[in-house]
Structure 1
Amino acid sequence: MLNYDPLACLPSSEELPDSDDTPVDNELQDLIPGLLKTLLAMAWPERMDWFFGVDMGIYYDPDLPPIVPDGFLSLGVERFYDENLRPSYVLWEERKVPILALEVISQNYRGEYSTKKAEYAKLGILYYVVYNPFRRRKPRLEVYKLINGDYTALEDGSPVWLPEIGLGIGMERGTYLGIPREWLYWYDRQGQRLLTPEEQAKFAQQQAQEVQQRAELLAQRLRSLGIDPDSLT
């Protein structure tokens, strides 16, 4: 009896192009999803069942070019395959549709409100996040959820809680890589945003300084009482 494996007839991620050769329009399309990926790596250091792609192709049909979000999150997949990492995200290999897709709008629209939105809905991506830093009158951050095959805008405001992910997503001003501006962040259930690596390092330094100051004050008090603090060690 012939055993037929349809997956064996499809190209693998190693055989497919890892880029559509379309350059990003500005740095934010790399930096914003890159920050979200970094924050996840710090929030989920022990978890190995997630993957966040930045400017990476999602292959959903072997006869069509990939769709390339600025960022996307998948849960329930291997975080790393090997030291060479993923060249692309191939749905017939991963067996998991991303749970979230992110688009950062540039001054040149690339179908984020039309064709890409429709494609993500067709793929079944649960959340579609659009950040438009150039907006003044409309919300700059929009979060959509797939309900009955169509995207429905969730409530305005920041952050927006995403229960299937266990985090919220929102925007506020901060500094990342020395750049002060409005950034997108992940938030916990209490609405507290996750700290960047720089902020965590600064917080640890401040704590160390406070401990040192308390130790010096205690030593001064002991000396005022005629006790040599060094004799207590």
Structure 2
Amino acid sequence: MVTQQSNKSDVFYPETDGKPMADNTKQFRWIVVIEQNLEWLFADNADVFVAGDLLWYPVEGNNRLSTAPDAMVVFGRPKGDRGSYQQWKENNIPPQVVFEVLSPGNTQREMERKLLFYHSYGVEEYYVYDPDRIRLEGWIRSEDGMLDRIESMLGWVSPRLGIRFELGAELQLFRPDGISFFSFAEINQLLDQERQRAEQAEQQLAQERQRAEQAEQRAHQMAERLRSLGIDPEAL
């Protein structure tokens, strides 16, 4: 009896795990704040990929082994849209930094599984923020290859990202230049401004296109007029 072996290239990798990105508005706001600010922090670096709630498959051929960090940063991979992060298609580079934002629905067992996953598949820095308890935890990969808990996150500076963590009434994050991360309200305002600029640019382009069409139409009418007078416009 001959047993057929499945081809790894035939394996289907879903682009969603069927779970919502966030369980509540507070968790959603913090995911957006962290992911968007990281996007802007590395906007000028073409080889840093930032994503939020994107399924990460670390092993080719295994579509059951995956997780979707609330935010992740991958150094050494180009920006661009992806349906999922399939590591074997990304020079086998795992996300070096991941963030999780907790909601009341997250269980201790679930978070222990996530920690084990990130330890097993190459994450260098792992940060967890609980916005309800105002609690921040972090892990960093040590020389012996283990993800070790960071003793104190107050004033901690990420080796990879260069950002500083502080805790007050809520989590505070600072860029390497000392500027604080934009808030959720500020992000919405910036995105509205970007949308308005895009709409204005589109309107301007449409106006320029209309003027060009009108000029072409006038030139055509003039040429026809000259021909009616027996003048060849090509000879002018």
Question: Which of the two has higher C-alpha Rg?
Answer: 2
Query: Which residue among 137, 141, 144 is the counterpart of 1:142?
Result: 137
Distance in 2 of aligned mates of 1:91 and 1:196: 32
CA gap of 1:29–1:134, structure 2 versus 1, over 3 A, is closer
3-state SS in 2 of match to 1:129: strand
Identity over aligned pairs, percent: 24
Give the partner amino acid of 1:108.
G
CA gap of 1:20–1:68, structure 2 versus 1, over 3 A, is same
Give the partner amino acid of 2:9.
L
| 1:87 and 2:74 are equivalent in the alignment | no
TM-score between both structures, scaled by the size of structure 2: 0.64
TM-score between both structures, scaled by the size of structure 1: 0.65
CA gap of 1:93–1:153, structure 2 versus 1, over 3 A, is same
Q: Please list the CA deviations of residues 114-156 of structure 1 after superposition, one character each: whole Å capped at 9, or x if unmatched.
A: 1110110000100110111233xxx701111022232222242
Unaligned runs of 5+ in 2: 1-6, 191-236
Query: Superposition RMSD on alpha carbons, in Å?
Result: 2.8
Structure with the higher helix share, 1 or 2: 2
Distance in 1 of aligned mates of 2:139 and 2:56: 19
Work out whether residues 168 and 189 of structure 1, in 8 Å CA contact, stay in contact via their aligned partners in 2: yes
Please name the residue that 1:68 is paired with.
Answer: 68
What's the offset of the Cα at 1:60? Answer: 1.4
Work out whether residues 125 and 139 of structure 2, in 8 Å CA contact, stay in contact via their aligned partners in 1: yes
Distance in 1 of aligned mates of 2:160 and 2:30: 22
Structure with the higher strand share, 1 or 2: 1
Q: Please list the CA deviations of residues 57-86 of structure 1 after superposition, one character each: whole Å capped at 9, or x if unmatched.
A: 101122224211211111110111xxxx11
- Count of residue correspondences: 177
Work out whether residues 91 and 97 of structure 1, in 8 Å CA contact, stay in contact via their aligned partners in 2: yes
Distance in 1 of aligned mates of 2:16 and 2:57: 11
Unaligned runs of 5+ in 1: 1-7, 174-181, 203-233
Please name the residue that 1:98 is paired with.
Answer: 95
The 5 A counterparts of 1:182-193 are 182-183=170-171, 185=173, 187-189=174-176, 191-193=178-180
Work out whether residues 28 and 104 of structure 1, in 8 Å CA contact, stay in contact via their aligned partners in 2: no
Distance in 2 of aligned mates of 1:112 and 1:159: 28
3-state SS in 1 of match to 2:32: helix
CA gap of 1:161–1:193, structure 2 versus 1, over 3 A, is same
Work out whether residues 58 and 88 of structure 1, in 8 Å CA contact, stay in contact via their aligned partners in 2: yes
Give the partner amino acid of 2:66.
P
Query: Which residue among 116, 138, 149 is the counterpart of 1:153?
Result: 149
CA gap of 1:20–1:150, structure 2 versus 1, over 3 A, is same
